[in-house]
Amino acid sequence: MRFLLPQVFSFLFLIQPFQIRAVDLENSGQIEMKTPSSRRASEVIELINSGHYTTIKSYIEKNYAPNFLKNVPVSAHLNFILEKQDESQGIDIDGVDEESDTQQSLIIRYKSTDERYNFSVSTETDFLHKITQILIKEIQTNASPIVGYTRENATEDLDRFVSKLVDLDLFSGAILIAYRGRPFYRKAFGMANRDFAVPNNIETKFNLGSMNKMFTAVAIAQLVQNGELSFDDPLSKFFPQLPNPEDAKEIKIKHLLSHTSGLGSYWNKKFLDSSRTRFRTIEDMMTLIDDSRVAFRPGSNWKYSNTGYLVLGSILEKVTGQSYFDYIRENIYRPAGMVNSDCYELDFVNHNLAVGYYKDFSIDPPRLKNNIFEHVLRGGSAGGGYSTVDDLLSFDRALRFNTLINSQITKLVLSGKPKLQSPDYGFGFQIQSDPHIVGHGGGFPGISSNLDMFLDAGYTAIVMGNSDGGRRVAAKIKSLIRNIDETIWHDGL
């Protein structure tokens, strides 16, 4: 997922230089367009369904609220609308969720795959009712087992779903699903390198994106277990001036691990304006951190922070005297049996690495691009390494069997931290309570990967993508697993 923009559409019936035909939702029995926000919602859906570059661009420029256009460039808004058209192949409206003068929330359905989403449009309060936000979110459902629904049924349904995405060029990657550590679905799709028509295979190494944070968190937990660190150690113990003396005393290791430090992202203007070859080590990347104040008092709020995990990698180096990369190889990958995982330097020869691809809709006509010049030269403690579906299953087993850290520390790492305002994120792991799932995702243009460990149900679901469709596949797998009737015997598994 590249953008889920807090987007803004606006409705100018009187001064709009062109007319977007409103969908006749009232007569179609879907919704009645009684409010400004419902009319706006129908216009946005009409825009998505049209896929017309010039019309969409003109609408955005004249009808998005000023603050939205100030914070997000027109090209990104345009990319978002056209991306949704490509993903959905057209949107149908299933019903109304919530409605007011300034917000319309609908249940929509993608024609491409029959997936259902919550779609909401918010507007300003004045007579122009310009759009201030557009959100498309997964619908959270309390799915339950279907009597007689087997793992075989689930894999057949998954094959049909993924085949649709592959046929529409919406997914490329590898998928593995296991039960109690034993795979029962293991397949690769699409191309690892489109220039040379090299297909993905089950041993292809894919970019992890932010999934490296799991390895960093477990490594820090090992140091705590060995008495070399404490989760309550202040940042000032290692970096008295970072980001400044006052905040360094307040930020603790546990805040860095749970994204509650108030630090932001080192992927800033300095990074974007620099050659990627300048940033090859953790020390190199640390030069990107500025000395601004934190966004909030540590532990009082939650904000995803790549800087926090970069700092954790540097702390690991200070404590161990090793490079981050050597420590992770020796203490995470090797004991877990992860033989095809590393933070590879991309200007060297690395066998069987997938190239990431994405569609750029900000140009007309849209073109497929690779992410070679957009991503990092080498990943690190915050993300950007590479792995395979089999290696991630090995990591899952190592955690479940306490190979890397003991059971007490493992439980602590894999638990939400409500006292730190982080109920859905532990130390390096995203947490879902019903069903109990822990893991992490990774997203960037041309990167879409995910690990879900169903701790109670015994399943592991791994999706690694070198395109942008992995999130949809991971969500589908989650819903299919919840449908499985566990009272049925499944081939001894």
The conformation of residue 353, written as its DSSP 8-state character, comes to: B
Handedness of CA 163, 164, 165, 169 (dihedral sign): positive
Model confidence at 28, in pLDDT bands (50, 70, 90)?
very low
Tens-place pLDDT, residues 261-290: 999 999 788 888 888 888 999 999 999 998
**Whole-model pTM?**
0.90
Question: Exposed (0-12), middle (13-18) or buried (19+): which is 450, by Cβ within 10 Å?
Answer: buried
Where does the chain hold its CATH 3.40.710.10 domain(s)? Answer: 206-483
Where does the chain hold its CATH 3.10.450 domain(s)? Answer: 25-138
Give the pLDDT mean for 323-345: 98
Helix, strand or coil, per DSSP, at residue 232: coil
Residue 394 CA to residue 242 CA, distance in Å, equals: 36
Give the pLDDT mean for 379-388: 97
Contact 466, 190 (CB under 8 A): yes
Backbone angles phi and psi of 179, in degrees to 5: -125, 125
Residue 48 CA to residue 9 CA, distance in Å, equals: 12
Residue 2: the pLDDT is 40
> What DSSP string describes 244-269?
-HHHHHH-BHHHHHHT-S----S-SH
Give the pLDDT mean for 208-231: 98
Buried b (16+ CB within 10 A) or exposed e, 221-246: bbbbeeeebebebbbbebbeebbeee
Tens-place pLDDT, residues 148-196: 999 999 999 999 999 999 999 999 999 999 999 999 999 999 999 999 9
**Helix residue ranges, H only, 321-465:** 324-328, 334-336, 389-400, 407-413
**Helix residue ranges, H only, 252-359:** 253-258, 269-272, 282-286, 306-320, 324-328, 334-336
Q: Which amino acid is at 249?
A: K
The long-range contacts involving 111-120, CB below 8 angstroms and separated by at least 24 positions, are 112/87, 112/88, 112/164, 112/165, 112/168, 112/170, 113/161, 113/164, 113/165, 113/472, 115/472, 115/476, 119/41, 119/45, 119/91, 120/41
Residue 183 corresponds to which tokens in the numbers above? Answer: 């795979």
Backbone angles phi and psi of 188, in degrees to 5: -120, 150
Helix, strand or coil, per DSSP, at residue 392: helix
Residue 490: the pLDDT is 62
Residue 142: the pLDDT is 66
Beta strands in 318-408 (DSSP E): 357-360, 367-370, 386-387
CA atoms within 13 A on the CB side of 181: 8
Residue 31: the pLDDT is 57
CA atoms within 13 A on the CB side of 240: 0
Does 135 score more than 70 pLDDT? Answer: yes
Contact 313, 381 (CB under 8 A): yes
Closest CA to 86 of 343, 348, 342, 368: 368
Q: In CATH, which of 1.10.10, 2.60.40, 2.40.50, 3.10.450 is domain 25-138?
A: 3.10.450
Closest CA to 380 of 307, 462, 290: 307
Question: Exposed (0-12), middle (13-18) or buried (19+): which is 94, by Cβ within 10 Å?
Answer: middle
**What is the CATH class of 206-483?**
alpha beta
Contact 207, 466 (CB under 8 A): yes
